[in-house]
Amino acid sequence: MVRAMIPGGLIGTYVIYRDRKPHYIGRSDTNLQRRLLEHCATARGNYFAYDIHTTREQAFAAECSLFHALRPLTNILHPDRPDHEHPQCPFCPDSIAAVLENRLRTPNL
């Protein structure tokens, strides 16, 4: 089914479900099809959902979103940044605090 649904060579994120609950989230920066086939071989879950992304940075942000929103998961470690790129997780408390601190302030009316 994975081979029929997802062409090779795409960047993407995924959620693997077990017993109707999110169990594991992940990302592939090179070949989403191959990564999901690896999970199928280890029988991590019952079914999956996926999204295709145009850049590794978009996939990283989406994976971070899933990691923060769907806990608890079997993922213990925060998603790793894409190779040779340094985006900040837009959902970590430090990133949110920095955005709030640097936002434009309007005078009280």
Q: Which residues of the chain have pLDDT under 50?
A: none
What is residue 6's predicted lDDT score, i.e. its pLDDT? 94
What is residue 1's predicted lDDT score, i.e. its pLDDT? 84
What pTM was estimated for this model as a whole? Answer: 0.82
What is residue 90's predicted lDDT score, i.e. its pLDDT? 85
CATH number corresponding to 2-102:
3.40.1440.10
Contacts of residue 48, Cβ cutoff 8 Å, sequence gap at least 6: 14, 15, 16, 17, 36, 39
What is residue 89's predicted lDDT score, i.e. its pLDDT? 86
